[in-house]
């Protein structure tokens, strides 16, 4: 049996769930399609958002199997994106200085880049962690 490292925290999932009617926890667990649906439908009119209270531990387990742990923390990256994303702080944390500066000067490329990072942040972290190993 293969042991998986904890890359995505259940606690972090519940913290992001508070903003879950906007899909934040679903993006965090690597589910960008349903995250986008939650974003545009307010968590399926709050019904899906409430059901996710039960589903978060399973989503965390799936994310732990899917993503690879490394020196850059998924939790720190997601906190930075969620609360300081328009300033590009998450990009600076990942060592992406040029795009971090662009985010800082343009408000996350006028919000489109912000949504792009919600879709791709887990893969960006995987890539950086792979390069650092």
123 — pLDDT class (breaks 50, 70, 90): very high
How far is 124 from 90, CA to CA, in rounded Å?
11
Q: Are residues 80 and 28 in the same domain?
A: no
The pLDDT of residue 119: 95
How far is 30 from 42, CA to CA, in rounded Å?
18
Q: What is the pLDDT of residues 26-43, one digit of tens each?
A: 999 999 999 999 989 988
This prediction has a pTM of 0.89
The runs of H, that is alpha helices, within 22-96 are 24-28, 32-45, 47-66, 74-84, 89-93
Q: Are residues 50 and 23 in the same domain?
A: yes
Choose one of 28, 50, 67: the last residue of a domain: 67
Range of the domain at 123: 71-133
Q: What is the pLDDT of residues 72-112, one digit of tens each?
A: 999 999 999 988 988 999 999 999 999 999 999 998 888 88
How far is 64 from 104, CA to CA, in rounded Å?
31
Q: Are residues 43 and 2 in the same domain?
A: yes
Query: How many domains does the chain divide into?
Result: 2
Q: Are residues 32 and 63 in the same domain?
A: yes
Rounded to the nearest 5 degrees, what angle is found at the Cα of 107, between the Cα atoms of 103 and 113? 60
Q: Are residues 82 and 110 in the same domain?
A: yes
1 — pLDDT class (breaks 50, 70, 90): very low
């Amino acid at each position: 049996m293969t042991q998986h490292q904890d890359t995505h925290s259940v606690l972090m999932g519940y913290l992001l769930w508070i903003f879950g009617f906007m899909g934040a926890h679903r993006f965090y667990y690597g589910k960008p399609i349903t995250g986008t649906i939650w974003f545009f439908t307010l968590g399926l009119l709050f019904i899906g958002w409430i059901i996710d209270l039960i589903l978060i531990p399973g989503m965390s387990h799936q994310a732990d199997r899917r993503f690879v742990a490394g020196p850059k923390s998924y939790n720190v990256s997601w906190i930075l994106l969620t609360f300081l994303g328009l300033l590009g702080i998450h990009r600076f944390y990942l060592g992406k200085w040029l795009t971090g500066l662009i985010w800082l000067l343009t408000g996350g490329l006028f919000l489109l880049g912000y949504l792009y990072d919600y879709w791709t942040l887990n893969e960006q972290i995987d890539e950086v962690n792979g390069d650092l190993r």
